[in-house]
Structure 1
Amino acid sequence: MEKQLLDAAIIGGGPAGLNAALVLGRARKNVTVIDEGRPRNAVTRKTHGFLTRDGVSPGEFRRLAREEIGAYPSVSFLADAAVSIEGADGRFQITTAQGVTLLSRKLLLAVGLKDRPLDIPGLADVYGKSAFVCPYCDGWELRDQPLVVINKGAELMHFAPLISGWTDRFTICTNGPDELTDEQREELRRHRVPLFDSPIRRIESDDGIVREVVLADGTAVPCRGLFFRPELALGSDLPQALGCALTDIGTAEIDAFGKTSVPGVYSAGDAASRMHQAIAAASMGALAAAMINNELNAEAWGRSE
């Protein structure tokens, strides 16, 4: 007996995948969400900037979302990881780590991003507690506190004015050559922002709260929080394996509706955006789901003639 052909398979159960499942469930589409339950934001205690959910933990957010989606019986969840995909638009075959196979007309890749190993001693101890990557998500909690910003080059010159909206008490540690021009260093001096390019030896902390950043030259920079630039990679190699075009930063290249370069394959959330916020990911998931539904309905309409 042949397996059921799903309308859509959603790979990834974060805000993008969950909101897509909600929209497709309400559109009466048969959908399975495949997620292994290892979200990148699991290290954080709270999710911020999401209207009606400000301050909720990532785990509670997912629980509430799945509870709401449970009202739509055409949506199911599979606690597993998709490891390979074959086929083409209209009939994709997904194989999971546990050996499950599913067939689906359309795909939504909401695989997110993952952190590469944190190579600064002590950073893993404070990540998600007093060290963060996004001031829109966690800047309020560290407002007016003495902070260290670990960043360099052109991105640093974007981040420095940004973080100044939350505190004017911050020091920059570039953990090696700063990759700045003389004009950029002068700009930081005019704003009285201390700049250190000595490599970071370690981060000292107490119960996850950073106390100081110790540099290789012996300098100790006291602080109560950190913002750093993470090294990120796609949460799965499936976009590349399927032949999806990628952007210059390694995310899936999509059009305004979430379509990738591969027919029948969509992407949403952090895997396809620089806007690494839960509410932005959810919005992208909702839009991509609407486009998937439109495509499915148009195809069914054509077949019925």
Structure 2
Amino acid sequence: MKKTQYEVIIIGGSFAGLSAAMALGRSVRRVLVIDNADPCNKKAPHSHNFLTNDGAAPADITLAARRELAAYKTVKMMTDTVENVVQIDEGFKVTTTKAQTFTTQKVLIATGLKDIMPKIPGFAGCWGTSIIHCPYCHGYEVYQEKLAVFGNGDEGFEFAKLINNWSRNVTLFTNGVSTLNPGQEQKLKEHGINIIQTKINAIDCVNNQVQAIKLKDGTEYAIQAIFARVPFKQHTDIPQQLGCALTEQGHIQTDNFCATTIPGVYAAGDNSSPLRGVANAVANGMMAGVFINKALIEEQF
């Protein structure tokens, strides 16, 4: 078999990508990690539910991981953005914005997701700090505080029910006419969850901290934190370039071995899993590294 410049190129150097790089480095694979230093969690002050690092800043965990990876001489890391990946006889050709070109046998996409902010003034400023998507990541820090949930219909009902575990002072903001069914409305009221249907005008956000929700009718609700789920898209168009299938939710479709629908292309982390958390990304990245190494062994032995 003709030798390629790298055996594996990992696109994305956050938790999943670095974890995969470690598994592959420990397998003595020639690996290049290309990262553009723009993680989706860059605003999050703390990370939780990750053993031995509970409460650490995401950037600090990443820095520690990079220091550890420096021990593995077959792993190289560089800061750049991958613009294009094409299939070639040897595997894949990867081109970056700095006009650097590399070849590889396998590609791991670990680029995460990009959240799409609603057009509500103040929302983006508080996103990731006091407007929160995951109670398992940040719910404990606002335990029994005055909380808001953004949502409507079945999804809004289930989200409010979930957040009620962390506080008995929860208000559901439907941002328009409620699409909850009568049974859902009754159940929420039984648990003391108020339902506000008035359209939201803005979020009063000061230094990344929610102060109040401002409604179209002029009413303001003082609040400590907001739980909201926003739409997302893939952080890069590389999966679409390669023809990788996506799920209905917009994640990269993978099998139990982290392989996409394109042979030789793998995915790990938030871009291919509904479980968005550091611990899951690290575990998923390690699995991807193991499975990629196994695939290379099968091809080379």
After TM superposition, is the score higher than 0.5?
A: yes
> Counterparts of 1:245 and 1:28 in 2: how far apart (Å)?
30
Per the alignment, residue 68 of structure 1 pairs with 68
| TM-score, structure 1 normalization | 0.94
Task: Using the TM superposition, give the Cα deviation of residue 162 of structure 1 relative to its aligned residue in structure 2, in angstroms.
Answer: 1.4
Per the alignment, residue 293 of structure 1 pairs with 293
Task: Using the TM superposition, give the Cα deviation of residue 207 of structure 1 relative to its aligned residue in structure 2, in angstroms.
Answer: 2.9
Q: Are the aligned partners of 1:89 and 1:264 in contact in 2 as well (CA < 8 Å)?
A: no
Change in Cα spacing, 1:89 to 1:179, as seen in structure 2 (3 Å) is farther
Which amino acid is the alignment partner of residue 188 of structure 2? L
> Counterparts of 2:94 and 2:3 in 1: how far apart (Å)?
12
Tell me if 1:205 matches 2:216: no
Q: Are the aligned partners of 2:44 and 2:129 in contact in 1 as well (CA < 8 Å)?
A: yes
Per the alignment, residue 273 of structure 2 pairs with 273
Task: Using the TM superposition, give the Cα deviation of residue 118 of structure 1 relative to its aligned residue in structure 2, in angstroms.
Answer: 3.8
Tell me if 1:227 matches 2:219: no
| TM-score, structure 2 normalization | 0.96
Change in Cα spacing, 1:23 to 1:221, as seen in structure 2 (3 Å) is same
After superposing the two structures, state which structure 1 stretch, 192-201 or 263-272, moved more. Answer: 192-201
Matches within 5 A, 1:156-235: 156-235=156-235
> Which segments of 5 or more consecutive residues in structure 1 lack a partner in the other structure?
none
Q: What do residues 59-110 of structure 1 show as CA deviations (whole Å, max 9, x unaligned)?
A: 1111000001111010001201111111158410011111111100001011
Task: Using the TM superposition, give the Cα deviation of residue 135 of structure 1 relative to its aligned residue in structure 2, in angstroms.
Answer: 0.6
Q: What do residues 205-234 of structure 1 show as CA deviations (whole Å, max 9, x unaligned)?
A: 333322211111222222111111122111
Match of 1:23, SS state, is helix
Which amino acid is the alignment partner of residue 139 of structure 1? G
Identity within the alignment, %: 37
Match of 2:22, SS state, is helix
Task: Using the TM superposition, give the Cα deviation of residue 122 of structure 1 relative to its aligned residue in structure 2, in angstroms.
Answer: 1.1
Change in Cα spacing, 1:170 to 1:88, as seen in structure 2 (3 Å) is farther
> Counterparts of 2:120 and 2:89 in 1: how far apart (Å)?
44
Task: Using the TM superposition, give the Cα deviation of residue 127 of structure 1 relative to its aligned residue in structure 2, in angstroms.
Answer: 2.1
Per the alignment, residue 91 of structure 1 pairs with 91
Tell me if 1:250 matches 2:250: yes
Which amino acid is the alignment partner of residue 223 of structure 2? C
> Counterparts of 1:135 and 1:156 in 2: how far apart (Å)?
14
Per the alignment, residue 100 of structure 2 pairs with 100
Match of 1:40, SS state, is coil
Per the alignment, residue 263 of structure 1 pairs with 263
> Counterparts of 1:281 and 1:4 in 2: how far apart (Å)?
28
Q: Are the aligned partners of 1:152 and 1:179 in contact in 2 as well (CA < 8 Å)?
A: yes
